[in-house]
Structure 1
Amino acid sequence: MLRFRKKNNKAKGLVAAHISHEGVAVASVSLAGKLRKLSNVAFLSVNDPLTHSQSVAAEILNLGLEGSRCSLVLSAGEYQLLLVEAPEVPKEELKEALLWRVKDLIEYSTDDAIIDFIELPEDAFKGRGKMLYVVAADRNLVEKRTAWLESIHLEPACIDVPELALLNIAEDLCEVEAGTAILYLNEQQSIINMMSLSSLYLSRALSYSHSSQIDNAVLDLQRSMDYFESQIGKPPCLRIVVMPLQVGETPLMMELRDNLGADVQSLDLGDVIESETPLTIDLQQRCFLSIAAALRNEGAK
């Protein structure tokens, strides 16, 4: 999403990065034919990395990733994901039409907005027009982030957002028609993606701490599952996949099992992705979004 023009060079495989206050999570992918393999996964512990780019650059150099093309995953508050009805215009005019459709929903002027979109399946909203999700970000913020990537010796390739990065992992887990709820847990903003036949039908952000508001998290997931069945008209959700891998039977996992009529699983990336770096629980929890973004299909628009 929010792709940038690629430069012609001899860059290495795709690297993905996600910034937090404590550091930068990075993951890189190498290709062997059609097989994608994680060649590097690391969390670079640098306090306030946006203002300490030299320290991050040194870590990137140590990992041998300098010069690589990079997908940067934005964090909560740095973008908006908006559900809108698709304008009836030719495809080449769609982005411009969408920009005007969301102009009253975004927090900056249309001149400062960068947008992209993901189309939903034809049956996503019965009785309504064709729907899609628009991703919008402030051009000024994006330019600052790409300049930061260049300062740490990575080449900006694209900007991603968590809801869509998660699809790179979830699509292969949701190949049946029966609904699957993907629950990505983060203390700042958790995400619910409702999926069927490897397609996204509904995405919701939970802007609160899931560990301190367990009842709310369970209720919001229940409401999403009910909406998926009653309003979208899909088969009942039979499985809930929790990401990243949880440590033991957490209070939230127990509440999900006790209150929702679905099989609750916690995903271990080591079971579904080949990696040269051992995917410990700590690495999975710190680097999940960067791993997901690194696995993007480069042929996707």
Structure 2
Amino acid sequence: MGLAQDGSVLLAVEVVHGEGRPAVQWAGRVDASSLSNGLQTLNRQRRLNTAKLVGLLPSDAARLVAIPAPDVPRSEWADALRWSLRDHVDFEVDDALIDVLEVPEATQLRQSRPTLTVVLPREKFVQVQTDADDAGLHWTALDVPETALRNVSALGEEEGKAHALLAFGEASSLLVITYQGELVMARHIEVQGTAMTSSSESREGALSRASLEVLRTIDTFERMHSEVSLQGLSVVLPPGSGEDVLPLLSDLIYVPVRAFHLSEWIDLSALGEAHPWLTSGVNLADLCALGAALRPMAEAAGRQQLRFVDEREAAGAGGPWSAQMGLRWVGIVAAVGVSVGVGLSLWASHATTRAQQVEAELAQLQRSVSEPQASNVTRELEELQRKEAVQTQLRQVLQGNVSATSMGYSDLLVSLGRQTQPGLWITGLKVRGDGRDLELSGRMTSPSLLPAYLRRLEKEDRFRSRRFAQIEMRDTVMEEGSAPSGVTEFTLRGRDAAERMATQKETP
């Protein structure tokens, strides 16, 4: 199943692969203020826990860079290219995830081996993994729009020829050229799909800009990949496009131009009329979700696939913590705290009953003794008085502990369990005495999440009267000398805990 977020909507397409054309078995779209919320909503509707989910990264998440292959074994390309990529992207590549797609050698006469290298910043990878985990799901794979659209373009290829596919989206458009099912070239074009449905003047201007970018790409393809001819360009026209769009493009572009009809390449009969957004017209996001769902079919055909491997996780460092995982641990700790509190309550009740029995025996003995008795009676009275003092002291101590534990500590844990913040999770809680000596620690993907979390926490009765007097934050570093992991650790301390910490530091 392929999933792609298009603005505030999450698209999902499930495809089955047989001997003939691939067929869309199910399609859906849900409102999604965030990827995590959309996945949770979709999971309630479709039960995605057992599905193989292929997630589409946003177009601005990763960078696709055309760069020659290094002179090292294929398995070492990603590491060898890391240093060269510094000049091609505007973010740090030291801890970025990198994968390399090789361009088919049959397209050119040159001795060099061109590649299309995809660079994904670690924080983007962590965020999309955390969103899935918050929804109780797991990604089978992650794709980028270029490779997803490649899977669709490959369906329209003629034997021995390359094929170009242009799709218009809400924010921009994407052009890909494929050969033998592999991606050869890709270009993002800053032309919105809404321009195709606007006034004639605006439409003609947008088509002129798009045609110029298409011509530049085709010219570069023919110079670099002269051993393969281009069969033509298929254009995905947005719903409501003017009738003159295709003729205008045909006049501006010298290769054959034809309209893209999804039903010619993919069987949509199972949908009926239930999903007009697929059957009557599609845009770039729809095709990318469909292309992500076609990944198993492309992989079975032996085509290269992106595999973003987190080396830190593979080395045993573990995946990103999520808010749901933190909530699970808080729930476990809360359950343990409540159990301990109930146990202490029962113990205190038994001790209180025993103390009352001792008091009754003592009162009866005191009433029966009106005159000085023999020494053995005096000793027994003194022993009973001593027992009474011990039982009274024990009852007072237990009542204090039960109050602090069953009422104070468990309520703190339950309050933490009720308040969750995507991207922020609690890893530790230390409480002493009556709860005023409190220390709370956790992790977050961005420091900007902490103020909002504290405001929500103040709404809880057990935290409304508490104020944190000290905060510590530091970037998480997996190994000494390595770059930060993109996750920030924080520690919050109450007044008593902060004073105790300061006293410990001052003590030599």
- After TM superposition, the score normalised by the length of structure 1 is 0.83
The aligned counterpart of 1:24 is: 10
The aligned counterpart of 2:271 is: 277
- Alpha carbons of structure 1 residues 27 and 108: separation in structure 2 relative to 1, 3 Å: same
The aligned counterpart of 1:232 is: 225
- Return 199-208 or 110-119, whichever deviates more: 199-208
CA shift for structure 1 position 253: 2.3
The aligned counterpart of 2:34 is: 49
Q: Which has the higher strand share?
A: 1
In 2, Cα distance between the equivalents of 1:56 and 1:136?
A: 25
1:182 aligns with 2:175: no
Contact 2:16 2:24 survives alignment (8 Å): yes
1:255-276 Cα offsets, whole Å, 9 max, x none, are 2122223332222222222343
Residue identity in the other structure for 2:189: L
CA shift for structure 1 position 245: 6.1
Return the structure number with greater relative CO, CA threshold 8 A, min gap 6: 1
| Residue of 91, 94, 119 corresponding to 2:102 | 119
- Alpha carbons of structure 1 residues 55 and 79: separation in structure 2 relative to 1, 3 Å: closer
For 1:103-182, list aligned pairs within 5 A. Answer: 103-127=86-110, 129-182=112-165
SS in structure 1 opposite 2:271? coil
In 1, Cα distance between the equivalents of 2:74 and 2:179?
A: 25
SS in structure 2 opposite 1:62? helix
- Alpha carbons of structure 1 residues 113 and 157: separation in structure 2 relative to 1, 3 Å: same
For 1:68-107, list aligned pairs within 5 A. Answer: 68-107=51-90
In 1, Cα distance between the equivalents of 2:141 and 2:218?
A: 32
1:260 aligns with 2:246: no
- Alpha carbons of structure 1 residues 206 and 234: separation in structure 2 relative to 1, 3 Å: farther
Q: Which has the larger radius of gyration?
A: 2
- Alpha carbons of structure 1 residues 114 and 79: separation in structure 2 relative to 1, 3 Å: same
Contact 1:70 1:158 survives alignment (8 Å): yes
Residue identity in the other structure for 1:143: V
In 2, Cα distance between the equivalents of 1:55 and 1:164?
A: 23
CA shift for structure 1 position 17: 1.0
- Alpha carbons of structure 1 residues 57 and 185: separation in structure 2 relative to 1, 3 Å: same
Contact 1:76 1:189 survives alignment (8 Å): no
Contact 1:246 1:266 survives alignment (8 Å): no
In 2, Cα distance between the equivalents of 1:176 and 1:245?
A: 28
- Alpha carbons of structure 1 residues 296 and 58: separation in structure 2 relative to 1, 3 Å: same
CA shift for structure 1 position 157: 1.4
Contact 2:68 2:114 survives alignment (8 Å): yes
Contact 2:103 2:184 survives alignment (8 Å): yes
> Which runs of no fewer than 5 residues in structure 2 stay unpaired?
196-201, 306-508
SS in structure 1 opposite 2:5? strand
SS in structure 2 opposite 1:291? helix
- Return 128-137 or 21-30, whichever deviates more: 21-30
SS in structure 2 opposite 1:108? coil
CA shift for structure 1 position 71: 1.2
Residue identity in the other structure for 2:266: I
Residue identity in the other structure for 2:10: V
CA shift for structure 1 position 219: 1.1
CA shift for structure 1 position 166: 1.2
1:221 aligns with 2:214: yes
- Alpha carbons of structure 1 residues 34 and 261: separation in structure 2 relative to 1, 3 Å: closer
SS in structure 1 opposite 2:222? helix
SS in structure 2 opposite 1:144? helix
CA shift for structure 1 position 76: 2.0
In 2, Cα distance between the equivalents of 1:19 and 1:177?
A: 34
| TM-align CA RMSD | 2.7
Contact 1:245 1:281 survives alignment (8 Å): no
1:291 aligns with 2:277: no
Identity %: 21
SS in structure 2 opposite 1:60? helix
Contact 2:154 2:163 survives alignment (8 Å): no
Residue identity in the other structure for 1:38: V
Contact 2:15 2:293 survives alignment (8 Å): yes
CA shift for structure 1 position 67: 3.8
In 1, Cα distance between the equivalents of 2:214 and 2:222?
A: 13
Contact 1:146 1:156 survives alignment (8 Å): yes
In 2, Cα distance between the equivalents of 1:268 and 1:89?
A: 43
The aligned counterpart of 1:11 is: none
- Return 227-236 or 214-223, whichever deviates more: 227-236
Residue identity in the other structure for 1:266: A
